[in-house]
Structure 1
Amino acid sequence: MKTPVRERRWSTLAVSGALLAAGIAGIATPALADARPAGDASSAAVAVRLAGQPDRAALAGTLADLPSEGITGALVRVGGRGGQWSGTAGAGVPADARFRIGSISKVFTATVVLQLAAERRLDLDGTVQQYLPGLLPASYPPVTVGQLLDHTSGLPGGGGLTSGDGTESWFAAHKADSWTPAQVVADAVAQPMGFAPGTAQQYNGINTFVAGLLVEKVTGRSFAREVQTRIARPLGLHDTVVPDRDDLALPGPHAPASVDVTGPDGVRRRVDVTEQSPWPWAEGGMISSAADLDRFMTALLRGRLLPPAQQAELFDVPDVPNHRNKNCEIGPTAGHACFSKGLMSATLPNGAQVWGKTGSRPGYASGVFATRDLSRKVVYSLNPTGLSGAEFPKVWQIVTTSFDSGQEYPKAG
């Protein structure tokens, strides 16, 4: 769910990512927004096909200084047509580690909703008020299912129910707390709408809480069961689960996760948060592994999970401005929407357009990205000890290095 902590995390990514990308690309920061392959009038007219093997030495270099202050461990898995590379850093980080994937859960939720749309069990142009009467205040305008998925609903962000004061100390003290999705939504919609639906895009976890409730209403079954039967079981994702509300454990091999907490005496102490409430639920509560997320993204982009009409929604970013968040403030599309109905799009300094999603929970920062043709893909998971986003320069280094080296070809047509 969108919290002040996550707002700061994305702000840090926008700033540190832009600065680091400028350094890697050898350009001044202001030029990043205009960075395009030479001889091309529009970044949208170019696709980058990543040929050859990943640069293993450069990838190993991204982990060479870990663990470090603020990051206790990491794992990275890079794949594609040119081969694979994987690496870990830090004590007790297994290559097959499970981890809390945070908002990558949103991609699973969107996929289930799009499948239900393909089955004509719901309409993306139908409204929340139609399917879930009484969930939103009567004063709210109609909000469509599609607007939930691409974050153009205008619904307000989360209140203080699940974020407290946004500090490591608050989370450490409340790591086992949970709330029902209905409680989380009710807390958020006590506030006014952020903007008129369909006029802007603001990344907002409340959209996905509502989408999860919609899945359960339409199917009559739990969200966890729908993910299991529609995605995890058919794809053989044995490490991927939607935990029960009271299941705080992280099953299977995993890296320990912790946060640094300042005590009443002013001394910083490390608190283990490996066990924590999984109830950001459909919005951010799932557990998976690098191998499973690689397989999921591969199947999704190959069209194994969605028919053509719904598959097209994954790559249809609305033409609206970005509103009050930093998620979409990197690269040539800065200031504009960057989320489709399920995925985030980003254009890297070398011109590569990648699709995927990031996720974060205290103690975990993860992501999965791929070129649309799957010529290169990356899954990463870091274990940061703070909530300020200080790990994001490392995230940006991992992502840009993973998609380095490639040839540019005009898109067909």
Structure 2
Amino acid sequence: MTILRRVGLRAAAAGTCLVALFGAAACGTDTAPAGADRVGAIQEALDATVRGGFPGAQAVLTTDAGDRTVTAGVGDIATGAPFPVDARVRIGSNTKTFVATVVLQLVAEGKIELDAPIERYLPGVVHGSGNDGNRITVRQLLQHTSGLPDYLAGGDPELRAERGTAQLEVDTEAVRWQRYTPAELVRLAMTMPPRHEPGTRSVYTNTNYVLLGMLIQQTTGRTASAEITARIIEPLGLRDTWFPAAGETGISGPHPIGYQEIDGERVAFTDLDPSWADAAGAMIATGSDLNRFFRALVDGKLLPAAQLDEVRRTVPFDRMPEAGYGLGLIHLPNSCGKEVWGHGGSIPGFETRTGVTDDGLAVTLTVNQLPTSEENAELVQRAFDAAICSQ
């Protein structure tokens, strides 16, 4: 999910701490995968995000040697506490990569055809306002080339104008606590015209992945949440990763407070009903769990070679001109010329960037407030790049 609000920032506390997960937990400690000078570069980049207006930031780096966590700022403005070790956070659109992995597993099992129309599996669901499920394939949903409108409008002012008041304003109290079904979200999208002809270009659209969650349930008879748990979370031993249950509005276990800027005020926004995000962005995880998932995916432990090859076939990505979007996986640009595959996620309270390099490093970077300007977003990208290029 991606939501930007251009409102004023207030400075956050700027305390910093580096935590070695496989050693003493102490500020300034350095005992893990990257050298002291490179960890210093990560720390400096995280500190810059805090000076730029974010309450706090955390980078988790994972290699065969273990995990390293670097933090800056605070996880709780009221107490001054930093991000906790193994912090649980809302991972937003990283959920899409879990969903795509399950869909590709079902493709490998012969239960779904990548280039079959979604109408075959969900008859009558993708229909209305010029949208036609007979002309949209499963692959196009995975790769955001379907042309379907976004029930969140995706930050597109032109589309917002077309849909009038239909857009879900997810940082309002009404939407924050409302329970939505996937069918309701899709019906909202179907009140709007297509963005473009199917297959002509890639435009990031959350509706695609809500439909893919519905496809998983239609194909298996179980929810996308249940299939993600059985096929990915349990086999990989991701103990701190889950899809929130119906009505689950909080984050259990150690976690930072997530904040949202609303009308120039910073509001604690950790608790919410994430059903409006559904299979497009509802999951919760730690940075170390995300790193293990993405490493397993890129290393071929979750998909056969043929399906992993399909995942890595990219098209130009509208959100990042230098990146390429595959089937739920993004080929990410970076300053050190590494081969990096990952994703990212934005949801009120949290933004995460994830990536796995060709030399075996996995990185998850989290800030506990969404960027509110392009300048803010650039600070997060620089910090992620510093972590990716640290080895």
- TM-score, normalization: structure 2? 0.80
Q: Aligned residues, how many?
A: 341
- 2:107 maps to 1:117: yes
Q: CA deviation at 1:241?
A: 0.6
Mark the CA change 1:174 to 1:198 in structure 2 (over 3 Å): closer, same or farther. closer
Q: What's 1:211 paired with?
A: 212
Of residues 68, 92, 98, the one that matches 1:102 is 92
Q: What's 1:59 paired with?
A: 42
Q: What's 1:270 paired with?
A: 266
Q: CA deviation at 1:231?
A: 0.4
Of residues 67, 72, 80, the one that matches 2:55 is 72
Q: Is the 8 A contact 2:298 2:341 kept in 1?
A: no
Q: CA deviation at 1:108?
A: 0.2
Q: CA deviation at 1:173?
A: 5.1
Q: What's 1:328 paired with?
A: 320
Q: What's 1:21 paired with?
A: none
Mark the CA change 1:180 to 1:249 in structure 2 (over 3 Å): closer, same or farther. same
Alpha-carbon distance in 2 for matches of 1:61, 1:211:
40
Q: What's 2:303 paired with?
A: 306
Q: CA deviation at 1:203?
A: 1.0
Q: What's 1:359 paired with?
A: 345
Which amino acid letter does the alignment assign opposite residue 346 of structure 1? Answer: L
Mark the CA change 1:385 to 1:355 in structure 2 (over 3 Å): closer, same or farther. closer
Q: Is the 8 A contact 1:240 1:287 kept in 2?
A: yes
Q: What's 2:386 paired with?
A: 401
Alpha-carbon distance in 1 for matches of 2:223, 2:70:
36
What's the secondary structure of 2:320's corresponding residue?
Answer: coil
Alpha-carbon distance in 2 for matches of 1:83, 1:368:
17
Alpha-carbon distance in 1 for matches of 2:370, 2:202:
30
Q: CA deviation at 1:377?
A: 2.1
Q: CA deviation at 1:261?
A: 3.1
Alignment of 1:22-41 (within 5 A): none
Q: Is the 8 A contact 1:87 1:95 kept in 2?
A: no
**1:177-201 C-alpha deviation (Å, 9 max, x unpaired):** 2311111111112222222211111
Q: Is the 8 A contact 1:75 1:95 kept in 2?
A: no
Q: Is the 8 A contact 2:91 2:350 kept in 1?
A: yes
Q: Is the 8 A contact 2:52 2:376 kept in 1?
A: no
Mark the CA change 1:221 to 1:191 in structure 2 (over 3 Å): closer, same or farther. same
Mark the CA change 1:301 to 1:115 in structure 2 (over 3 Å): closer, same or farther. same
Alpha-carbon distance in 2 for matches of 1:103, 1:127:
24
Q: Is the 8 A contact 2:259 2:269 kept in 1?
A: yes
Alpha-carbon distance in 1 for matches of 2:272, 2:296:
30
Q: What's 2:228 paired with?
A: 227
Alpha-carbon distance in 1 for matches of 2:194, 2:262:
35
Alpha-carbon distance in 2 for matches of 1:173, 1:186:
19
Alpha-carbon distance in 2 for matches of 1:405, 1:253:
27
- 2:334 maps to 1:348: yes
Q: What's 2:23 paired with?
A: none
Q: CA deviation at 1:116?
A: 0.5
Alpha-carbon distance in 2 for matches of 1:368, 1:125:
28
Alpha-carbon distance in 2 for matches of 1:249, 1:83:
29
Mark the CA change 1:405 to 1:284 in structure 2 (over 3 Å): closer, same or farther. closer
Q: CA deviation at 1:68?
A: 3.8
Alpha-carbon distance in 1 for matches of 2:372, 2:390:
32
Mark the CA change 1:198 to 1:385 in structure 2 (over 3 Å): closer, same or farther. closer
Mark the CA change 1:84 to 1:247 in structure 2 (over 3 Å): closer, same or farther. closer
Q: What's 1:289 paired with?
A: 286
Alpha-carbon distance in 2 for matches of 1:402, 1:106:
23
Q: What's 1:163 paired with?
A: 168
Which amino acid letter does the alignment assign opposite residue 382 of structure 2? Answer: Q
**1:41-63 C-alpha deviation (Å, 9 max, x unpaired):** xxxxxxxxxx9758111112122
Alpha-carbon distance in 2 for matches of 1:219, 1:275:
31
Alpha-carbon distance in 2 for matches of 1:244, 1:294:
23
Q: What's 2:200 paired with?
A: 199
What's the secondary structure of 1:116's corresponding residue?
Answer: helix
Alpha-carbon distance in 2 for matches of 1:214, 1:226:
12
Higher relative contact order (CA 8 A, sep 6+): 1
Q: Is the 8 A contact 1:259 1:385 kept in 2?
A: yes
Which amino acid letter does the alignment assign opposite residue 330 of structure 2? Answer: M
Which amino acid letter does the alignment assign opposite residue 155 of structure 1? Answer: L
Alpha-carbon distance in 1 for matches of 2:115, 2:370:
42
- 2:103 maps to 1:131: no
Q: CA deviation at 1:302?
A: 1.0
CA RMSD of superposed structures (Å): 2.4
Alpha-carbon distance in 2 for matches of 1:178, 1:307:
36
Alpha-carbon distance in 2 for matches of 1:389, 1:362:
17
What's the secondary structure of 1:329's corresponding residue?
Answer: strand
Q: Is the 8 A contact 2:42 2:390 kept in 1?
A: no
Q: Is the 8 A contact 2:93 2:345 kept in 1?
A: yes
Mark the CA change 1:385 to 1:136 in structure 2 (over 3 Å): closer, same or farther. closer
**1:123-148 C-alpha deviation (Å, 9 max, x unpaired):** 11111111000101165251111111
- 2:361 maps to 1:376: yes
Q: What's 1:38 paired with?
A: none
Which amino acid letter does the alignment assign opposite residue 313 of structure 1? Answer: E
Which amino acid letter does the alignment assign opposite residue 113 of structure 2? Answer: D
